[in-house]
Every structure is written in structure tokens, then in C-alpha cells.
Amino acid sequence: MADTVKAALMLGPGRMGMGEFPYPSPQPGAVIVKMEMSGVCGTDKHTFEGRSKQYAGTEAETDTPFPIIPGHENVGIVAETGGRVLDFYGKELRPGDRITWGPDLVCGKCWYCRNTFGYPWCESIKAYGNAFSSNDWPHLTGGWAEYMYLFPGTFIFKVPEAVTPEMAVMTEVFAVSYAVDKAKECYSLASEGFGAGAATIIQGVGPMGLMCLIKARILGAGDIIAIDKSPYRLAMAKKFGANYTINMDETSKEDRLLFIKDLTDGRGADLAVECAGSPHAFIEGLEMLRKGGTYIEAGNFVDTGETAINVNRHITAKNVRLFGVTNHPFTGYGPSLKLMERYADVFPFSEIVTHKYPINRAEEGLKRSFEPDTMKVVITP
């Protein structure tokens, strides 16, 4: 064990630094993890730009309590536990186990915890990598560090042997693709929701869009059309099962609508998943849907302003099924790990991590992740 632990700090919007903290001893039920890898997420970028309210619109809404140790998409090795600690499925954790864990701590007592499994609206939700100041004990509450402290009650998942750290670091993002499972629940003889052969549009194929694309492919999508501005990301989408790619910068909105109509005998797509994070993409996606189609809005995670929607044309006249997604249920972690294990030979999951930066170059990694020729950038000790 180390005496001190190095960590990358976000000191405030636009300001990164380094910190050194005492190696903590675990309280009963806590776990100390030796970090292997921690993703740079869109949320970290928003926080760095000073645009992030955590859990805006909920009881838990807060400003970021700088300084923080960022990092909520995590994988590491159990260093020690505070007594007997169980994983999400009731298996005992031992030193040496590779684990990943949910980024949110929930109370288990409020209405949302008791009725919706605590995601993501627990009235006192606390997120690793975002909601804890590194000034406060136990300091090590984000993944861009050598070690991390997991409080009792953290939802922890053992990583199967066939799943590499590069794959396991994607578990949280993959879990968000439960949105596609959610659409599947609505499939009926009237062909609503998402079903076998559904023409599926993924708007924005960054890491989250890519994971939704993979989920749609595994669940039986027909044609998958990936839309993005980055040729790099579009090429990757093809590798992961997109049949068609459309470059936003090389086409007009009319071109894109025409392409989708042509592909679907004039009807429009059965399902569209918005992962671009733009209110304009939201409108465009609705226009690309057929009547009775299904729309998943997952990308507008921060409030970037308003957009003009034609309620009749975009929603009512289409009988659209509309899902908003801000997070994932913790139950999504186990299935995500299983799918990565099962499909390890089908999808080149390990290629999703395109860039690795040590913690003392976290700022560089963070800035690099803004570039269009990256997929997942990770911080690794």
C-alpha cells in the first residue's frame, strides 16, 4: 500500500491541477480500489467548461463543489475492504478482484429509491467524480487517481475474466443504452417501439451513440444509419455494425431527410436515438421518424437552451413514442458486462478506448477528448 495517493484535480472551470492525499483506511463496508482506468465523459467536459449543474431539475441539483477529483466511469482492482463487502449480486469481494461500480450513491429511502431503484432521481444522490470535494475526507472520490475510496453502499460489479479493463471502462456508458431495451418493451403487433428489423438512426456516434448502436445491433435492428460530423467516428460506427453513415458536414438537413425516406420506402425510420447533445438534432430526429415511430432523447444532458418544436407535426401527428434518458439503472451493469463478454469476438470493444493519458497529463487528455478524431479517452495511473 502507498502512504500517499496522487490524483488529478479539477480546481474550477478551466483549471486542472494535481493533488496528493493520505492513503485512507476503509471504514466497515468500504472498499479501496487500485485504479486501472477511468473514462473522460461528456459530463467532465461540461464541468470543465463550467456549464454543469449536477442533476439539474431534481431535488439534488447542485453546483460542482470544486476542487474535485473527476472520473465516474471506473475500473480497478480491489486493494482492501472494510470487513466483509458484497458486490451487487451478493458475492464477497476479495483483494485482487477486478471491479467496476456505479457512479451514484443513493439513499435507498426516498420515494424514487423505493419506487424506481434510485436512478437517477434519488433526493440525496451523490455522484463520484462530481459531487464530492477533494478537500473532505476520504478525498479519493474520483477515478482520475491512483486509488479510489468506495463508500459503503456503492453498487459494485465483478468484471468477468474475458472482459479487459479497456472494455470494462465502457460499462457505465453501455448501461445507458438500456434506453434501447426500454423501447423494445413497447414493441407490439402494431410495430411500435423497437423490434426485429427496425430501421434505426443513431444521431451522434461518440461513445454513448456507439454503445446504443451496438445494443440496437445485438437486439436485432435492421438498417442502422449513423449520423455524425466526424469521419473518424463514422468509420468506427461502420466497424461496429452501422450499414450507412451520413456526414453532417457534407450534407444538408434536406439531403439527410431524403436519404432516410428513400431507405424506408418513403416512411421514415422506426427508431431514432439522439446522442449528439444538440437541441437541433432533436428536431431533425423527430422529422426522420415514421408515423408511430419511437424516439429516444439521450444526448442533451446539460441545459443548452431552448428549441422550437412543432408539437402537432413533430409529436401528435406522428403518434410518436418519446423517451427521455438521463442515466442508467444499476441493474444495467451486470447485463452490459455479460454482453461484452458474450460478444467479445463479434465487436472490437477494446478499440473503443482510443487514447490513454496518465493522471499528471489529465488536462491534456480532457482537452484531447474534445477532438473529433477520438472515441473514448481514458485516464490511467
* Residues contributing to the site for Zn ion (CB under 5 A): 41, 106-107, 110, 113, 122
User: Nearest approach, Cβ of 172 to Zn ion (angstroms)?
Assistant: 6
49 CB-near residues (< 8 Å, 6+ apart) = 13, 14
Q: Of 184 and 233, which CB lies nearer to Zn ion in the complex structure? A: 233
Residue 67's Cβ-count burial label (10 Å; 0-12, 13-18, 19+) is middle
User: Nearest approach, Cβ of 208 to Zn ion (angstroms)?
Assistant: 8
Let me know: does 169 contact 74? Beta carbons within 8 Å.
Answer: yes
Q: Specify the 3-state DSSP secondary structure of 358.
A: coil
Indicate if the alpha-carbon torsion angle 34, 39, 45, 50 is positive or negative. negative
Q: Of 292 and 329, which CB lies nearer to Zn ion in the complex structure? A: 329
Q: Of 41 and 337, which CB lies nearer to Zn ion in the complex structure? A: 41
CA distances from 57 to 48, 61, 115, 116, 326 (A): 20, 6, 19, 17, 11
Q: Of 77 and 107, which CB lies nearer to Zn ion in the complex structure? A: 107
User: Nearest approach, Cβ of 62 to Zn ion (angstroms)?
Assistant: 15
Residue whose C-alpha cell is 440525496: 124
Residue 73's Cβ-count burial label (10 Å; 0-12, 13-18, 19+) is buried
62 CB-near residues (< 8 Å, 6+ apart) = 53, 54, 55, 131
Q: Of 35 and 122, which CB lies nearer to Zn ion in the complex structure? A: 122
Q: Specify the 3-state DSSP secondary structure of 275.
A: coil
| Alpha carbon distance 6, 144 (integer Å) | 9
Q: Of 128 and 194, which CB lies nearer to Zn ion in the complex structure? A: 128
Q: Tell me how far the alpha carbon of residue 376 is from its chain's centroid.
A: 11
User: Nearest approach, Cβ of 111 to Zn ion (angstroms)?
Assistant: 8
User: Nearest approach, Cβ of 207 to Zn ion (angstroms)?
Assistant: 9
Q: Of 194 and 301, which CB lies nearer to Zn ion in the complex structure? A: 301
User: Nearest approach, Cβ of 9 to Zn ion (angstroms)?
Assistant: 18
User: Nearest approach, Cβ of 108 to Zn ion (angstroms)?
Assistant: 6
